């Protein structure tokens, strides 16, 4: 027996909700990592320590790019 259209829509919404939750979890993880790395970079700069400063700033920038890419996936989708 084939599932009805109501069940198909419900399953599709459930999968879409799971996708949104996964993407938002990834964004949250990247933003927290970015905050920690940026804090380390600023503390290093203010403390006069040059070691690891550029690396922390660059990884923080990549976290920002990754988070923006994930948020972009949340945009409107075509309906088939």
Residues with Cβ within 8 Å of 51's Cβ and at least 6 positions away in sequence, in order, are 44
Cα gap 7→38, rounded to integer Å:
46
- Segment 15-25 shows an average pLDDT of 80
For residue 43 the two structure tokens come to: 């503390």
| Amino acid 13: pLDDT | 64
Q: What is the pLDDT of residues 26-71, one digit of tens each?
A: 889 988 988 888 888 888 888 888 787 888 888 888 888 888 888 8
Q: What is the pLDDT of residues 52-63, one digit of tens each?
A: 788 888 888 888
Q: What is the DSSP letter of 76?
A: -
């Amino acid at each position: 027996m084939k599932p009805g259209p109501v069940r198909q829509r419900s399953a599709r919404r459930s999968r879409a909700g799971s996708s949104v939750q996964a993407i938002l979890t990834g964004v949250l993880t990247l933003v927290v990592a970015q905050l920690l790395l940026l804090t380390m970079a600023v503390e290093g700069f203010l403390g006069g320590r040059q070691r690891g400063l550029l690396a922390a700033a660059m990884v923080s920038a990549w976290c920002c790019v990754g988070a923006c890419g994930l948020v972009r996936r949340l945009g409107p989708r075509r309906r088939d």
